[in-house]
Amino acid sequence: MARTKAQPYHHGQLREALASSGRALLEEKGIRGFTLRECARRAGVSHAAPAYHFASIDDLLAELAVQGFHELAAAMTAEAARADGDAAEGGATSHLVAQGVGYMAFAAGNPALFQLMFSREANRLETPALAAAAEAVRNLHAAAVEAAIPHASGEIKQRMADFAGASVHGFISLLLDGQIGGKDSSRALKARGLSLLSAMAETVVRVGS
C-alpha cells in the first residue's frame, strides 16, 4: 500500500499554532515561565519544530508583542469609532476618552501580554515590525490630541500627546500591579478610570486652548 506523505509538524499552521499556544502560556505563567519547549508541547509538535519559524524564544515573544500592539490599536480605534458614532456630544474630547477606554480594556483583558509589550524584556525584542506596531499606538494618541486641540502649537500638541499616553498607561499599569484599586469593585474601578480619562481630556483641551 502506498504511503501518504506526512504533513509537516502534524498541521499546516505551525506558526499560528505556536503563537496561540505561546500566548496562552504567557497569560498563565508570565514571561518567567515562558519556554519554547512548552509552547511546542502545547501545539502538539516536537521541541525542535519551532526553530523553523522562531530561531529563539525572543523571536516568538516579539511576535506576540507585535500581535498585542495590533490588537491594542484595534481596541482603541473601535472604542473611538463607537464614541464618534454616538451623534450626541463630546466631539474630539469624547474621542480621546474613548481611545483611553479601549487602551485600558485591552490591558485589563490581556495583562501578561500588556506587561510584555512594555517591559524591559521588550527592549531586547526590538524588530522593525515591533517598532512600527508600537509607533502606530503612539500615533493614535497624537492624532486624538491633534483633533482635540487643532490650533495649538506643535510643542504643546507633543506635550499633551505625551501627557495623554502617560495618564492612560500609568493608571492601568498601577491598577494591574495592584498599586491602586485593591479594595474597589469592578464598577468602582471603571468609574475611577473614566474619571481620570475625563480629567485628562479636559486638561488637554484647557492647555491647548
Q: What are the pLDDT digits (tens) for 127-144?
A: 899 999 999 999 999 999
Q: pLDDT tens for residues 66-80?
A: 999 999 999 999 999
The pLDDT-based confidence of 98 (bands split at 50, 70, 90) is very high
DSSP strand E in 41-86: where? none
Determine contact, residues 27/110, Cβ cutoff 8 Å: yes
98: left (phi over 0), alpha (psi -120 to 50) or beta: alpha
Q: What is the pLDDT of residues 6-58, one digit of tens each?
A: 335 445 588 899 999 999 999 999 988 899 999 999 988 888 888 888 888 99
203 contacts: CB under 8 Å, gap ≥ 6: 160, 163
Q: What is the pLDDT of residue 89?
A: 54
Task: Give per-residue pLDDT as tens, 164-204.
Answer: 999 999 999 999 999 998 888 989 999 999 999 999 999 99
Residue 149 near residue 157 (C-beta atoms within 8 A): yes
CB proximity list for 155: less than 8 A, separation 6 or greater: none
For the whole model, what pTM was predicted? 0.88
